[in-house]
């Protein structure tokens, strides 16, 4: 019998208790705990940011005005608006990742980001979802030259499937290190993986 999807698992309950907008917050927390994505004062871009759980985690990890010390900046992009007022250093933009201009994400300073995140996923149909997921990841990698600082870091979701090895190899050509990682908060029945890259090297594209 096929594994039954458990909707209200411990991460769902934890998110409710701890004030996160979605259980996906724990995926990013584990990725950062294990892979050291964030540093205080970082500029972070979150592609596909709604409902805002990753914005919450990123803002906590890079520093908010309330925390004192170094304060980071987190910018999010999604087709859907983020309704929650997360933190003063978080800015969410409504837009299409395939149409957005990099300058609109960089803002007036034009400063590139230290970290690019993507928890984007296609509308799943059960047929060809892995290729649609890979296409989203390819778009993220396409944007890196305009948006990510040399030496920057990446974490993006991809569905395991025929296209996954090609996307991982491309990421490996762009970063000094790029590996797949599956957080414990990912559902057991899910095919999702995260490609985590460190040390972006534009010349290696």
Task: Name the active-site residue from 157, 179, 182, 184.
Answer: 157
126: region left, alpha or beta (phi > 0 left; psi from -120 to 50 alpha): left
Give backbone dihedrals phi and psi of 39, rounded to 5 degrees, phi first: -135, 155
CATH code of the domain occupying 10-204? 3.40.50.150
Residues 149, 172: Cα–Cα separation, whole Å: 16
Residues 163, 193: Cα–Cα separation, whole Å: 12
Q: Please state, rounded to an integer, the average pLDDT across all residues of the chain.
A: 89
Predicted local distance difference test score (pLDDT) of residue 67: 81
Predicted local distance difference test score (pLDDT) of residue 2: 41
Alpha carbon 89 to its chain centroid, in Å, reads: 17
Return the HEC string of 99-137. Answer: CCCHHHHHCCCCCCEEEEEECCCCCCCCCCHHHHHHHHH
Greatest extent of the chain over all pairs of C-alpha atoms, in Å: 55
Instruction: Show the low-confidence residues of the chain (pLDDT under 70).
Output: 1-8, 11-12, 15-19, 124-127, 187-188, 204-205
Residues 91, 95: Cα–Cα separation, whole Å: 13
Give backbone dihedrals phi and psi of 22, rounded to 5 degrees, phi first: -160, 160
How many Cα neighbours within 13 Å face the side chain of 182?
A: 10
> Active site includes 157?
yes
**Cis peptide bond prior to 51, omega within 30° of 0:** yes
Predicted local distance difference test score (pLDDT) of residue 3: 43
């Amino acid at each position: 019998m096929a594994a039954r999807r458990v909707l209200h698992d411990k991460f769902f309950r934890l998110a409710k208790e701890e004030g996160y907008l979605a259980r996906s917050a724990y995926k990013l927390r584990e990725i950062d705990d294990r892979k050291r994505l964030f540093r205080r004062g970082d500029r972070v871009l979150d592609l596909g940011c709604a409902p805002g759980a990753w914005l919450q985690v990123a803002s906590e990890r890079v520093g908010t005005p309330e925390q004192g010390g170094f304060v980071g900046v987190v910018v999010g992009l999604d087709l859907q608006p983020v309704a929650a007022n997360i933190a003063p250093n978080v800015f969410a933009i409504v837009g299409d990742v395939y149409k957005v201009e990099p300058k609109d994400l960089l803002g007036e300073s034009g400063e590139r980001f230290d970290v690019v995140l993507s928890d984007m996923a296609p509308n799943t149909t059960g047929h060809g979802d892995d290729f649609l997921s890979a296409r989203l990841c390819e778009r993220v990698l396409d944007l890196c030259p305009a948006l990510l600082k040399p030496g920057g870091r990446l974490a993006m979701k991809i569905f395991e499937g025929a296209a996954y090895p090609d996307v991982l190899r491309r990421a490996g050509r762009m970063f000094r290190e790029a590996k797949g990682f599956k957080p414990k908060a990912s559902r057991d029945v899910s095919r999702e993986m995260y490609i985590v890259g460190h040390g972006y090297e534009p010349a290696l594209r």
